Structure 1
Amino acid sequence: MDGKSLTPQEEKLKQLKEILPEVFAEGKIDWEKLQATLGENINFNNERYVLNWAGKSESFKVLQTPTTKTLEPVKEESENFDETENIFIEGENLEVLKVLQKSYFGKVKMIYIDPPYNTGNDSFIYPDKFSETKGEYEKRVGDKDEDGFLTKDGMFRKNSKENGQYHSNWLNMMYPRLFLAKNLLRQDGVIFVSIDDNEVHNLRLVMNEIFGEENCIGTVCWKNKYGAGAKTKGFIDVHEYILCYSKTEIQNIESILTKEQSKVYDKSRDERYESRGGFVTQPLMTNSLDDRENLQYSIEFNGEIISPRKQWVWGKKRLIEAIEKNEVVFKKKKNEEYSVRAKVYLKDINGRIRKGKPLSLLNGPFNQEGTKEVEELLGPNIFSFPKPASLINFFFGFTINEKDDLDGIYLDFFAGSSVSAHAVMDLNKEDGGKRKYICVQLPELCDPKKEAFKAGYKTIAEIAKERIRRAGKKIQEELEAEKEKKNGELDLEPTEEKNIDLGFKVLKLTESNFKQWQQTQNKDAKELEEQMRLFVDPVSESATTEKMLYELLLKSGKDLNSKVEHKQNYYCVNGNELVLMLEKATQEIIEKVISEQPQKVIALDKLFKGNDQLKTNTVLQMKDSGIEFKTI
């Protein structure tokens, strides 16, 4: 194991080798062979439509550079750590996205992010100058205060509109993060990105480049304000945008009905109102005509014969049954012809509220709703401009390709106050789903002059974690109240009927628990000697068994919710998928490990220190048993 994250170019080359092995020579692409294979579809002409900006090539280098960092579990800040499948990660999101590549590649159902809008007052992480080396950049973004928190002065750069590379800086920040995020999406995965007029044009072009123009589902114009701001020079700004893209081309998308759409159903009611709500109607006569004679027939109603001008939508048997169940509406028009329409209820026969096609214009929820939510949970002026949870609820509630999946992973790597986590818990409360979230937030220092700092929150990440705790508690209380009302009994557990996961694991981005080999310059003998001395034991001094366990899970491609069973001196991961030997190695332990019949075993090399024979025998035994064996 090299201890490094999966890089995008490795995955792309692997995919290309699978579909076009003939264009590779000695492991590299032969461009002449590629052109011969694809013909005129390969364009070597420099005059072409392309998005470019200052530093774009550097942003490619940034995303292609692997990370050696890892995630460290922090149980004391977590809620129900051992049982929950929700994840909150504290750390710089670009590095975190790299860390997650192996374990979550192609596993995330939906992503929502609310990145900096580049208004001219934003501060965010980007290379300070394009000549800045990776080492200089890492040193700067690693600047910490005396308590170990990342300093805003060291890590962030204000991107004012007077900056000559104002748009370029923002693009350099966004491009690698969006690129890596795409890798994490499932084949039917979807990403939603909030933005305003400052960068919507550039964001659309970047998303087209990364996801493909054909995978643009649409741009939602979200009216989020009532209309204040009469002193503005131009139009009063009352909207923002949410850009929606899929990883691959999707066939169909449906959304939860908006309040306006739901109200339409309430205009008509019948005897099924209590169980199925109101209804709208849709025509049962069609203007199209095909060869299906079973759709061309007449029916009798009130002593009159009714025939369609061309044909019916349903067959005769189905239509007659619907009429008998009072699911069809007949209305005579001015020309004495009948309009025959089917009732479509707000709820289906299982009591689930119907979904519909999403509109590109969303009227609310308004900003005040998001502010009110945070105030009710944390107090006033703790977090500025939070999105309403119901907004994220709306998008996370989309049905893709008619598959109502209630068990996906939802990612937000600009978590802010963790509104996405709140939305996922709300959705699960509504329909009993098993959705899981991963929220990533930088431990950005709060301004000492602001209310959040005065209330005891030192970082934005602390605000985010506390919101999840309090939102979870509120949902739990609501579930208890629902059960009390339904059953007339007190003190019932809130998870008896709806087993909602309201906990979360906290993990923090840290340096690797294993020392990394540093390339020595000019083959300096003393530096080389020092490297050799350090690598007598590659495990860092601060490493613990638990920290190493989580790092090896991630670097073996196992997710953070893998089932880990601690046996005598070794750990079994997801049954027999992987065994980790981190504590002790003896012949007896080796034999027990082999008896588990694992697919792969990773052991600390230091466990065999002073016993080369045991290590040699272990290698041979593992090979004979068909087990992949590695030491670190």
Structure 2
Amino acid sequence: MTGRPCNTFVEGDNLDVLRSLAPGSVDLVYTDPPYNTGNDFAYADRFRAADGARAGRHGAWVEMMRPRLEAVRDVLSDRGALFISIDDNEAARLRLLLDEVFGEQCFLAQVVVNLNPKGRQLGNGFATSHEYVLVYARDPRRCAVDASSAEHVDEGDFPLTAPDGRRFRHLPLRNTNKKFNPITARTLHFPLYGDPVSGRVASAAFDGAVEVLPVFGDGRPAVWRWSAPLVDERPDDLVCRTIQGKLGERVDVFQRDWLHRDGGRRKKLRTIWPSEEIGSTDTAVAELKDLVGHVFESPKPTGLVRRILGTMPSDVTVVDPFAGSGTTGHAVALANAEDGGTRHCLSINWPEPTRPGSNADLAGLPTVAAITRARLTAVDARLGGGFSELPPHSPAP
């Protein structure tokens, strides 16, 4: 990717553009398609139901999305993944469609995203405050998604301090999952030897040591999380202690779980992403307004996309087939500026007309594609990284 700009934009039908890309050339697709709220959407393909009748509103939306998701699947590399935003209007149908196109085994997560913490006050019923992001791998065995983050590691979870100043906590070396036991994991049920006075642990007996077998709290046999060779390889990361268990006092073995100050430690991401962490629709509007004005009603916050980018390597090729206001390209530029990454984003948008008399129309932006172009141009002027535009429907470089 050396020499490519951070952002590339192409105006046109995303189906044509996706089909022009080389198979396996994309690592990450994030997109925010039209949600089918009952209004007409720009990609009005003439799909028909199997019986020849005009498909209903939901059916037409699914059949509009189907070939585009198939094209996304085809351009994703083996390490690639799709993250796709959706709300309750089509979430259930999109999940089924993705299971069909990618395969159920490729499903990674359905994330709840809190983009409107106050809740939508218009209309009847509940004040909806969330949407979803569905996550699918191209190949779950090779997918590069790391669903963790260094930002959510809490130093308070590591209350102990070593003489050299490093923080740590004690974790049982015993596997606490009862699915793993001497029947299901026979090779991990063996005695260790420990001295609860000195704390020393080894796989072989030594002076002052007592034999320690892994047991659950109720006394049933358990297994260790480490093999005997790993115990011998990392003895300083283990400690023998006397504890008070349910059945009385006993000796057990614990792992010293270190908090690494170099940022190497990561914590699994939960499947609920609050607005305090990833931004909201309000912050997204403010981000866009700061660059090109209040010209788009419901953009996504860059924090949402940056969290997604954080699950992938810093050299990924990103595509957003429904680029909207250009949030994905903006987030890629921000991420590259922060960590020196070489991510490249291709944003695709159809020249859907903006509403006459709207802020966008009054600002001289007659189409949504013009909004995308204006934002990515402004992003390049502010953050650098480069911006280029391809002729409609031509393949990416």
What TM-score, normalized by structure 1, do the two folds share?
0.50
**Are 1:320 and 2:241 counterparts?**
no
Match of 2:213 in 1: 309
Q: Within 1, Cα distance between the matches of 2:136 and 2:39?
A: 28
Letter of the aligned partner of 1:368 in structure 2?
D
Q: Of residues 202, 213, 219 in structure 1, which corresponds to 2:104?
A: 213
Residues 421-440 of structure 1 mapped to structure 2, 5 A cutoff: 421-440=329-348
Per-residue CA deviations over 1:151-189 (Å, capped at 9, x if unaligned) read xxxxxxxxxxxx972112212321111111211111232
1:360 aligns with 2:360: no
Instruction: State which of 87, 91, 112 in structure 1 corresponds to 2:12.
Output: 91
Q: How does 1:32-47 map to 2 (within 5 A)?
A: none
Which residue does 2:147 correspond to in 1? 255
Structure with higher helix content: 1
Partner of 1:108: 26
**Alpha-carbon spacing, 1:117–1:336, altered in 2? closer, same or farther (3 Å):** same
Contact 1:284 1:342 in 2 (8 A): yes
Q: Which moved more, 1:422-431 or 1:170-179?
A: 422-431
Kept in 2, the 8 Å contact 1:295–1:313? The answer is no
Does the 8 A contact of 1:256 with 1:394 survive in 2? Answer: no
* Cα root mean square deviation, aligned: 3.5
Question: Among the aligned pairs, what percent are the same residue?
Answer: 28
Structure 1 residue matching 2:132: 3-state secondary structure: strand
The answer to whether the 8 Å contact 2:149/2:311 transfers is no
Distance (Å, rounded) in 1 between the aligned partners of 2:337 and 2:252: 41
Tell me the SS of whatever aligns to 1:298: strand
Counterpart of 1:185?
Answer: 76
Counterpart code for 1:387: K
> Any conservation in 2 of the 1:126–1:172 contact (CA below 8 Å)?
no
Rounded to whole Å, the distance in 1 between the matches of 2:252 and 2:284 is: 45
| Deviation of the 1:232 alpha carbon | 4.8
Q: Which digits, 9 at most, give the CA deviation of each residue in 1:510-561, with x for residues without a partner?
A: 6xxxxxxxxxxxxxxxxxxxxxxxxxxxxxxxxxxxxxxxx6xx5xxxx51x
**Aligned to 2:308, which of 371, 374, 395?**
395
Q: Which amino acid aligns with 1:322?
A: D
Matched residue pairs, number? Answer: 359
CA contact (8 A) 2:190 2:213 kept: no
Q: Secondary structure at the match of 1:189?
A: strand
**Residue of 163, 167, 171 corresponding to 1:282:** 171
Residue 279 of structure 1: how far off its partner (Å):
5.4
**5+ residue gaps, structure 1:** 1-80, 132-162, 400-404, 477-501, 511-550, 561-632
Q: Which residue of 2 is the match for residue 469 of structure 1?
A: 377
Shift of 1:286: 3.6
Report the Cα offset of residue 345 of structure 1: 4.5
In the other structure, the counterpart of 2:388 is 505
**Counterpart of 1:444?**
352
The answer (yes or no) to whether the contact 1:111–1:412 under 8 Å persists in 2 is yes
Residues 256 and 354, structure 1, Cα contact 8 Å, conserved in 2: no
Give the gaps of 5 or more residues in structure 2: 200-208, 215-222
> Are 1:414 and 2:322 matched, yes or no?
yes
Cα deviations across residues 69-108 of structure 1 (Å, max 9, x unaligned)?
xxxxxxxxxxxx97526421122212222332xxx21111
Separation in structure 1 between the aligned mates of residue 75 and residue 142 of structure 2, nearest angstrom: 20
Is 2:104 the partner of 1:237? no
Match in the other structure for 1:13: none
- How many angstroms apart in 2 are the aligned matches of 1:214 and 1:431? 33
Matching of residue 454 in structure 1 with residue 344 in structure 2: no
Contact between 1:223 and 1:238, CA under 8 Å: does it hold in 2? yes
> CA–CA distance in 1 between the matches of 2:56 and 2:111?
28
1:86·1:436 contact (CA, 8 Å) conserved in 2? yes
Does the Cα contact within 8 Å between 1:285 and 1:308 map onto a contact in 2? no
Counterpart for residue 284 of structure 2: 370
Cα 1:285–1:395, aligned 2, differ >3 Å: closer, same or farther? same
Shift of 1:197: 0.9
| Distance change in 2, residues 1:199/1:293 (3 Å) | closer
Distance 2:274 2:251 in 1: 36
Distance 2:306 2:165 in 1: 24
1:297 aligns with 2:192: yes
**SS of structure 2 residue aligned to 1:242:** strand
Give the drift of 1:444: 2.7
For the 8 Å contact 1:88–1:506, the answer to whether it is kept is yes
> Does the Cα contact within 8 Å between 1:329 and 1:343 map onto a contact in 2?
no
Whether contact under 8 Å (1:221, 1:361) holds in the other structure is: yes
Q: What is aligned with 2:205? A: none
Change (3 A) 1:96 1:354: same
Residues 111 and 317 of structure 1, relative CA distance in 2, 3 Å threshold: same
Letter of the structure 1 residue corresponding to residue 295 of structure 2: I
Q: Aligned with 2:146: secondary structure?
A: strand
Structure-2 separation of matches of 1:368 and 1:443: 25
Distance, in Å, in 2 between the alignment partners of 1:194 and 1:217 is: 14
Q: Secondary structure at the match of 2:195?
A: strand
Pairwise CA distance, 1:306:
6.2
- In the superposition, the TM-score normalised over structure 2's length comes to 0.77
Change (3 A) 1:346 1:86: farther
Change in CA separation of 1:97 and 1:275 when aligned onto 2, cut-off 3 Å: farther
Does residue 294 of structure 2 align to residue 386 of structure 1? no
Q: How does 1:154-233 map to 2 (within 5 A)?
A: 165-229=56-120, 232-233=123-124
Q: Which 10-residue stretch deviates more, 439-448 or 224-233? A: 224-233
Provide the C-alpha distance between the structure 2 equivalents of 1:317 and 1:236, rounded to a whole number of angstroms: 57
